[in-house]
Structure 1
Amino acid sequence: MSILVVDRWIEYRGTVVHAIDTGVRQAYAYLSPGIAITAAGAPDAYHPENIGSGHIRRTEWPDGEWRCALVADPKHPRRPLQQPAGRHAGYFVSITALSDVSRARTDPGAYVDAGRIPYLVLPASFRAMEGTGDLGDFVVAYQPATRRCSYGLIGDIGPDRSLGEVSTRMASDLSGQRAEARSGRGLPPGPTLCLVFPRSRLAPVWPIPPAAIRGRCEYLLKGLGGPIRLVQLAEALGEPAWEETA
């Protein structure tokens, strides 16, 4: 097992972020006191009657800057586009910053479905910092209380909130039960470890099958010493610096 050096790097909105260096690959990790759930990108995320998997107020529709969360109707740009047919007819088209550029912006399938894909949301001001990573970079989340992992990627850029916003699928992976963005049910208990690998994204960045996301995350985690490192990091992040030789 390689030498793993963990140093306090930066603090963002009360969360201490630690840089990790094995001499081969760099990463960073933080322990989020509590995570938030987003439904963004799911075809059933938002509905004008507020019956979606996410609460409509998260989009700021109808009076706020909803265009950051929903696709505008090309024919009626002052209102969001509603899906015209299919299982989710009537639902708005919810967007994520990561998308399939080969598809039309109006295509719900272009975006990262929060109900199917584990992803992490980076606050915009945090993402703007050098070394914090970009859309499509890979992420491993670990929940010490449940001892469950989730293998995902950076899938969206959000408002300048605290670190630790994840998709409904990532939250479900960590809690072991169905998580709901709308109600907040199914949140994993206690702090959650987020381990991010900047400059790890593939080309094309999206789409990537869930099995390929998992395989890439397992490969990156192996470079740090394997899954046991998640347990060690979760226990060690309270220290100002930590070094292990094995």
Structure 2
Amino acid sequence: MAVLMIEHWMDFAGVAVHRIDAGAQRAYAFVNPRPRVTAQGAPDAYHPDDTGRAHLRDSGWPGPEWRERLVADPHWPQRPLRQSQGRCAGYFVSTTALSDPRFPRASAHAYLDAGRVPYLAMPDAWLRHDGAGAPGDFAVVRERASGRLSLGLIGDGGRGRAMGEVSERMAGDLTGHRADARSGRGVPTGPLLYLVFPGSRREPAWPLQTAEIRARCEQLLRRIGGMAQLGRLAESLERIED
């Protein structure tokens, strides 16, 4: 069994972040007592009539922050681009930091669909710290009460992000129910344990199949003692924070 060395690293936005050293693998962990859920990247996330899967205010529109989360219309740069065809015609193109280079930036297909991809969104200010990782690095999230897991990766960042926002798919993995960012249905209500593996990004970082994400996360987990170690890690962090 791997022996974990746990060291308090820093406090960020009211969250205590700890370095994890298992010899062959390093990571960091933190607990978020009030996780937020995002629909960012979903093709039907934001509609100008505020009928999307997420509230329009979360896109930053009509305020100045929308350029960080939506694609600008190349013919009318003062406004976000609206999809012109398909089932999501009329919706804005919602972006994520991690994207598929096979598609143009203006395509909704280029971005991680929050309803399909288990990903984390992290604040840009956090990701600027040396050792915090980057989009494409893998992560495991555990719901404390049930022990349910979601195996995913860092998929997005940005100003105003909460520490450890989870995509709708990641939220659903943790609750066992389809999650909805707009209504709050099926989203975790209790503390989540996050374990992030900085420097674990693959090239190309995206696209990846769900099975590939899971296999990589399981490989990284084995280096720290396997999934059973997550429960012991959660208990250790609880004692430290108490």
Q: Shorter-chain TM-score: which interval?
A: over 0.9
Residue type of the alignment partner of 2:41: G
8 Å CA contact 1:45, 1:94 repeated in 2 = yes
> In structure 2, what is the Cα distance between the partners aligned to 1:119 and 1:38?
10
Spell out, residue by residue over 1:207-238, the C-alpha distance to the aligned partner (whole angstroms, 9 max, x if none): 11111001100110011111111111111103
Aligned partner of 2:144 in structure 1 is 144
Deviation at 1:156, TM superposition (A): 0.2
Are 2:97 and 1:97 aligned? Answer: yes
TM-score by length of 2: 0.96
For residue 125 of structure 1, what is the aligned residue in structure 2? Answer: 125
Q: Which amino acid is 2:152 matched to?
A: G
Provide the residue aligned with 2:35 in structure 1. Answer: 35
Residue 179 of structure 1, CA deviation: 1.3
Identity %: 53
For residue 73 of structure 2, give the secondary structure of its aligned residue in structure 1: coil
By relative contact order (CA 8 Å, sep 6+), the higher-ranking structure is 1
Q: Deviations over 1:20-43 (max 9, x none)?
A: 001111100001111101101001
Aligned match of 1:156: 156
Alignment match, 1:244: none
SS at match of 2:156: strand
- The alpha-carbon distance between structure 1 residues 212 and 11, as it changes in their structure 2 partners (threshold 3 A), is same
Q: Which residue of 2 aligns with 1:12?
A: 12
Q: Distance in 1 between matches of 2:212 and 2:58?
A: 30
For the 8 Å contact 1:12–1:162, the answer to whether it is kept is: no
Which range moved further: 168-177 or 231-240? Answer: 231-240
- Which residue does the alignment assign to 1:196? 196
Q: For residue 73 of structure 1, what is the aligned residue in structure 2?
A: 73
Query: Aligned residue for 2:173?
Result: 173
Distance across 2 between alignment mates of 1:158 and 1:222: 31
Contact 2:15 2:30 in 1 (8 A): yes
The more displaced of 62-71 and 203-212 is: 62-71
Alpha carbons 1:39, 1:181 under 8 Å: kept? yes
Indicate if the aligned counterparts of 2:121 and 2:161 stay in contact, CA closer than 8 A.
no
Q: Which residue of 2 aligns with 1:53?
A: 53
Stretches of structure 1 that go unaligned for 5 or more consecutive residues are 242-246
Q: Report SS of the residue matched to 1:27.
A: strand
- Gap change, CA 1:160 and 1:85, over 3 Å in 2: closer
Point out the more displaced range, 87-96 or 73-82.
73-82
Name the SS for the 1:238 alignment partner.
helix
Count of residues paired in the alignment: 241
Kindly indicate whether the alpha-carbon contact (under 8 Å) linking 1:99 and 1:112 is maintained by their aligned counterparts in 2: yes
CA distance in 2, matches of 1:175, 1:185: 10
Q: Identify the range of structure 1 (111-120 vs 95-104) with the bigger mean alpha-carbon deviation.
A: 95-104
Distance 1:189 1:76 in 2: 41
Mapped partners of 1:59, 1:37: distance in 2 = 13
| Residues 139, 217 of structure 1: 8 Å contact kept | yes
Q: Could you tell me which residue of structure 1 aligns to residue 211 of structure 2?
A: 211
Mean Cα displacement is larger for which, 61-70 or 128-137? 61-70
Q: Distance in 2 between matches of 1:171 and 1:138?
A: 16
Tell me how far 1:160 sits from its aligned partner: 4.1
Aligned-pair CA distance for 1:65: 2.2
Shift of 1:70: 0.6
Deviations 1:167-200 (A, max 9, x none): 0110111111121111222221311000000000
